[in-house]
Amino acid sequence: MVSEYRIGEFKLSSRLIVGTGKYQSLEQTRACLEASGTEMVTLAIRRLDLSKKNAPNLLDVIDPAIYTLLPNTAGCYTVEEAVTTARLGREVCQTGLVKLEVIGDPKTLYPDNEATLEAAKILIKENFTVLPYVIDDPVLCKKLEDLGCPAVMPLSAPIGSGLGIRNAHNIRLILETVSCPVIVDAGVGCASDAARAMELGVTAVLMNTAIAGATDPLAMARAMKLAVEAGRLSYEAGRIAKRAYANASSPIEGMIDIE
C-alpha cells in the first residue's frame, strides 16, 4: 500500500495530482479523473466560465466530496493578477488552497521567481495554503518553505512539453534542502517519466497535458496511476547500488567443482 502524506491540513493517499484542462469534453474529464485515482484536482480559475448559469461547467464533474480542489492562478503574469485570482478561487471553490503560478515568460512559461515570492508572502498573510509552481531551484524552494509554503512544486520541464525530467540532480538537491513535500509539476510526458520522478523521492507528481493530450487519455490516466504507485514503491523499497562491473547473482562460495 502506498503510504499517506500531508499537504498542510490535507491528508492524501494518491500521489498523482491531475489538472482539468485540454480534455475534449466534461465527460472525458470525469472519466480520466476517476481512472487516475487522484484525490486532488487542480483547475484554472481564470478559465472557469460561470457566466452561463444553466450551462454545465467544470465544477459539475469535480465532486468536492471525492476530490480536494486546488484552484490555480494559471495565466497570471503579475503579482496583482495572481493574488486577485487566488482570492477569486477561494470564493468559488470554498478553499484556501491555491497553486500559485506567476509566469515570467510567455514562450517558456517559466515562473517569475521574484513575483512568486512576493505573491506568496501576501497570500500566506491572508491564510492561504500556498503551493508554488517554481523553477527547479533549491535556494528558491527553501525561501518559499521558510515563508510558510507547506509544499513546493518545481517543474521537471516546461509546461506541456512532455520532455520529462530534465534535471534530476536539481530535484535531488531540492529534496535535500527542504523538509516540506516536493511535488514535481509540469513536463511529464509518459508513464516512465512519472515513475522516474517518484523514484527520485518526490512526494507527488502533478500533470495535465500528459493525460489530456494523449492519443487515449483514459488509458494514459490508468498508466499514470500505476506508474506513480510503482515509482513510489520502488523508492520506498530501496534500489540496489549501481556498479561499474558485473556482480553475479549466485554466490561463488560453495560452488561444486567440476573436473
> Which cell numbers hold the place of 191?
508513464
> Which cell numbers hold the place of 252?
561463488
Spatial distance between the Cα atoms of 7 and 99, rounded to a whole number of angstroms: 12
Query: Of 158, 92, 102, whose CA–CA distance to 130 is shortest?
Result: 102
Which one of 11, 22, 99, 142 is the catalytic residue? 99
Instruction: Specify the 3-state DSSP secondary structure of 226.
Output: helix
Spatial distance between the Cα atoms of 112 and 135, rounded to a whole number of angstroms: 9
Q: Is there a catalytic annotation at residue 225?
A: no
If you search the block for the grid coordinates 512519472, which residue do you land on? Answer: 194
CB-based contacts of 232, cutoff 8 Å, min separation 6: 2, 3, 15, 198
Helix axis angle for 168-177 and 138-147, nearest 10°, is 30
> Which cell numbers hold the place of 173?
538537491
Spatial distance between the Cα atoms of 61 and 43, rounded to a whole number of angstroms: 12
Backbone angles phi, psi at 164, to 5 degrees: 80, -165
What H or E segment, with its residue span, contains residue 223?
A: helix 217-237
For the annotated catalytic residues, the residue numbers are 99
